[in-house]
Chain A
Amino acid sequence: MRAAHDLGGLQGLGPIAPEPEQSEPVFHAEWEKRMFALTLACGFLGQWNLDESRHARERQRSEDYLKNSYYENWWVGLRRLLIEKGLVSEGELNSARPEPHAKPSALSPLMAERVAAILAKGGPVTMPVDRLPGFAVGDRVRVKSNAPAGHTRIPGYIRGRIGKVVEHHGSHVFPDTSAKGQRTGEHLFSVAFSSEAVWGGSAPGGNFVLRLDMWEPYLDRVS
């Protein structure tokens, strides 16, 4: 499956039209600031992980994903997670009021004095696995062309393409299962692809190299 968030190679989207670096604000409206902070603060409640958060934004009608601005998609994703994880009810979201007899939440909200420390700590995703890496630097590999249902980090444009393993990053949490709430590790590799191998023929203005990080289950060896 391929949905609208999987944008690599899509045509007809018009110019990029960047704002000048020196004059672009970090946020473009007050509500964007609040939406950004709400998403992070709710994330720190520990009820979902980053992959579930991404998947919540991706599971929209493709036309909505493309039509929405960036933080509108965050609004959609956060509401979905709050409902699915049972933190708020649909009725509460619609009325913007807690239900009259709702029990107080047992979760501890993020406090201002903890913000700096929790951001500085981050959330490393390295995860040891008890298997040796299945590929070595220099191996030729083909990206699986099956299209898994659910969340994946294989962009559509790279499926079925052949590249070469350039680096082993160790083992990291595997997003496809992580998005279902299961934290398992898989070996992660940096794979190089030529633009000819990906797009066929020559690229406008000259060929180039694409580098993608691919987990072992995404790859098959090419002999």
Chain B
Amino acid sequence: MSDHDDDHSHDHDHTHPPSEMELKVKALESLLVEKGLVTTAALDALIETYEHEVGPRNGARVVAKAWSDAGFKQWLLSDATAAIASLGFTGRQGEHMKVVENTAGIHNLVVCTLCSCYPWPVLGLPPVWYKSAPYRARAVSDPRGVLAEFGTALDKDVEIQVWDSTAEMRYLVLPERPPGTESWSEDELAELVTRNSMIGVETVAAPGGEDIV
């Protein structure tokens, strides 16, 4: 990971936004509620869904099942939308899924240079860095440099494939299963899978903490 006290040169602060925005959004919400265009309860339900229910643990279950079940993996790679739906993960921003497999020779990395396209049903909402200008700019021009910022170093012979999500296809990376996990259950495997490995900026570390590269 990179240090946070570097020349992160935005002139706003992600952690402590100006109270001005708090006021502006409050004003907008109260207007829209008063005009009958939104209901407070529906807003609360939307927030609850993406803050607590839909997130990368879903994707980790997909990956762990693919690692454990060769038939499921084959289905996942040929018809990801249906295979993922069979685990109950469907809907908004995951209508057209594609799973791309990392192997000893190929490493996949996902970005959306034009906005912030991301597979919500399996990963939840994207992290700030995924939506940030530096990531969107450099993932397609210097992917190895980007990976290095996440502490990920790949062998020189590994071919990197960068997926720029320009359409409504949503991409999930199937990371390589780390060695030493042959006897692990699906639940144990799911615990190992990180969100970042399913975007492709990291690999899944082997138990014991050493990175597999």
Instruction: Give residues in A with beta carbon < 8 Å to B.
Output: 5-11, 13-21, 24, 26-38, 40-42, 45, 50, 54, 57, 66-72, 75, 78-79, 82, 87-88, 92-93, 96-98, 102, 104-105, 107, 109-112, 114-116, 119-126, 153-155, 157-158, 169, 172-173, 175, 188, 190, 198-199, 203-206, 208-215
Contact = CB atoms under 8 A, between A and B. Distances in A.
B140 A210 contact: yes
Given A26-B51, A112-B44, A121-B91, A96 B8 contact: no
B35 A42 contact: no
A29 B17 contact: yes
Contact of B96 (A69, A125, A212): A125
B32 A42 contact: yes
A111 B180 CA distance: 49
B185 interface: no
A208 B107 CA distance: 10
Nearest to B19: A31
Nearest 5 Cβ contacts at the A-B interface? A205-B144, A8-B113, A213-B167, A112-B41, A96-B27
Given A7-B114, A107-B36, 15 more contacts: A9-B141, A16-B150, A26-B55, A34-B43, A37-B46, A38-B32, A41-B46, A88-B31, A92-B31, A105-B35, A110-B42, A115-B49, A119-B46, A122-B91, A204-B142
Given A26-B125, A172-B168, A111 B1 contact: no
11 contacts: A8-B136, A19-B127, A29-B21, A34-B47, A50-B168, A109-B39, A112-B41, A112-B45, A172-B167, A206-B160, A210-B164
Given A119-B91, A121-B91, A105 B159 contact: no
Contacts of B132: 16
B38 interface: yes
Contacts of A78: 28
B105 to A, nearest CB: 12
A79 B29 CA distance: 11
A204 B43 contact: no
Interface of B: 1-4, 6-12, 14-17, 21-22, 24-32, 34-39, 41-47, 49-51, 54-55, 90-96, 113-116, 124-125, 127-129, 131-146, 149-150, 156, 159-169, 194-196, 201
A29 B41 contact: no
B29 to A, nearest CB: 6
Contacts of A10: 133, 137
B90 A40 contact: no
Nearest to A173: B168
Given A19-B129, A120-B91, A69 B28 contact: no
A69 B32 CA distance: 22
B50 A26 contact: yes
A114 B47 CA distance: 14
Contacts of B7: 14-15
Contact of A75 (B14, B24, B134, B167): B24
A20 to B, nearest CB: 6
B6 A7 contact: no
B140 A72 contact: no
B35 A98 contact: yes
A124 B95 contact: yes
Contacts of A169: 96, 167, 169
Given A153-B166, A209-B162, A210-B140, A109 B134 contact: no
